[in-house]
Amino acid sequence: MLLQINKGTVFFGANDVFENVDFSVNENERIALVGRNGSGKSTLLKVIEGEVELSSGQLIKSDKINIAYLKQNALINSNKTVKEEFEEVFSLLIEKERQLNDLAEKMAVNPDEQLINRYSRLEEEFKFEGGYTYQSEIMTVLHGFGFGLDDYERQVSSFSGGEKTKIAFAKLLLSKPDLLLLDEPTNHLDLSTIEWLESYLAKYKKAMIIVSHDRVFLDRLVSVVYELEYGSIRRYSGNYTSFVEQKKNDLIRQESAYNRQQKDIKRLEELIEKFRYKKNKAAFAQSKIKYLDRMDKIDAPTSDEKTFSAHFHCRIKGGKRVLNVDHLQIGYDTTLCEVNLEVLQGQRVAIIGPNGKGKSTFVKTIMGLVPQRGGEYLLGHQIEPGYFDQQLAQFTGTKTVLDELWDEYPLLDRTQIRTVLGSFLFTSDEVFKTVDVLSGGEKVRLQLAKLMLQQANLLILDEPTNHLDILGKEALEESLMDYEGTMLFVSHDRYFIQKLATAILVIEEGKATYYPLTYNEYVDKMAGVTPTVTPTKSTSVQAEPVKPERRKDMSREIKKIEALIDKKEKELDELRELRFDPEYYHDFRKMNELDNRIDDLHNEIAHLMETWEEYNA
**CATH at residue 57:** 3.40.50.300
The verdict on 370 and 451 lying in the same domain is yes
- Mind listing the pLDDT tens digit for each residue in 371-406? 999 999 999 999 999 999 978 778 888 999 999 999
Flag whether 278 is in a domain.
yes
Flag whether 19 is in a domain.
yes
User: pLDDT at residue 535 above 80?
Assistant: no
The verdict on 384 and 366 lying in the same domain is yes
Q: For 83-97, 233-247, 468-482, 596-610, which range has the lowest pLDDT when averaged over its residues? A: 596-610
Which of the four pLDDT bands, split at 50, 70 and 90, describes residue 228? very high
327: helix, coil or strand? Answer: strand
Specify the pLDDT at position 541. Answer: 38
Flag whether 217 is in a domain.
yes
Averaged pLDDT for residues 240-251:
90
In degrees and rounded to multiples of 5, residue 33 shows phi and psi of -110, 115
For the chain, percent of residues with pLDDT exceeding 90: 60
Q: Of residues 248 and 502, which shows the higher confidence score?
A: 502
Flag whether 542 is in a domain.
no
The verdict on 511 and 368 lying in the same domain is yes
For the chain, percent of residues with pLDDT exceeding 70: 92
The verdict on 498 and 571 lying in the same domain is no
Q: How many CA atoms lie within 13 A of 75 on its CB side?
A: 16
In degrees and rounded to multiples of 5, residue 301 shows phi and psi of -65, 135
Helices (H), strands (E): how many in the chain? 21, 18
> Which residue type is seen at 553?
D
Which of the four pLDDT bands, split at 50, 70 and 90, describes residue 539? very low
What's the rounded Cα separation, in Å, for the pair 38 and 34? 11
Specify the pLDDT at position 536. Answer: 42
Q: Of residues 186 and 281, which shows the higher confidence score?
A: 186
The verdict on 234 and 255 lying in the same domain is no
- Mind listing the pLDDT tens digit for each residue in 249-292? 888 888 888 888 898 888 888 888 888 888 777 887 888 888 88
Residue pair 440/411 in contact (Cβ under 8 Å)? The answer is: no
Specify the pLDDT at position 353. Answer: 93
DSSP 266-288: HHHHHHHHHHTTSGGGHHHHHHH
Specify the pLDDT at position 552. Answer: 57
What's the rounded Cα separation, in Å, for the pair 359 and 459? 15
Q: What pTM, to 2 d.p., does this model score?
A: 0.76
Flag whether 89 is in a domain.
no
The verdict on 367 and 481 lying in the same domain is yes
The verdict on 43 and 184 lying in the same domain is yes
The verdict on 504 and 456 lying in the same domain is yes
Question: In the 8-state DSSP scheme, what is residue 64?
Answer: T
- Degrees to nearest 5, angle at CA 139 with 135 and 142: 135
- Mind listing the pLDDT tens digit for each residue in 73-131? 677 778 899 999 999 999 999 999 999 999 999 898 888 889 899 999 999 999 999 99
Q: Which residues pair with 59 in a beta bridge?
A: 5
Which of the four pLDDT bands, split at 50, 70 and 90, describes residue 549? low
Flag whether 598 is in a domain.
yes
Contacts of 548 (CB under 8 A, 6+ apart): none
What's the rounded Cα separation, in Å, for the pair 461 and 438? 21
What's the rounded Cα separation, in Å, for the pair 273 and 293? 15
User: pLDDT at residue 37 above 90?
Assistant: no
- The region, left, alpha or beta by phi > 0 then psi within -120 to 50, assigned to residue 507 is beta
User: pLDDT at residue 156 above 70?
Assistant: yes
The verdict on 352 and 454 lying in the same domain is yes
Split into its structural domains, the chain has a count of 4
The verdict on 284 and 362 lying in the same domain is no
The verdict on 366 and 457 lying in the same domain is yes
Q: Of residues 583 and 454, which shows the higher confidence score?
A: 454
- Report the 10 Å Cβ neighbour count for 310: 20
* Domain that residue 224 falls in: 1-66+177-238
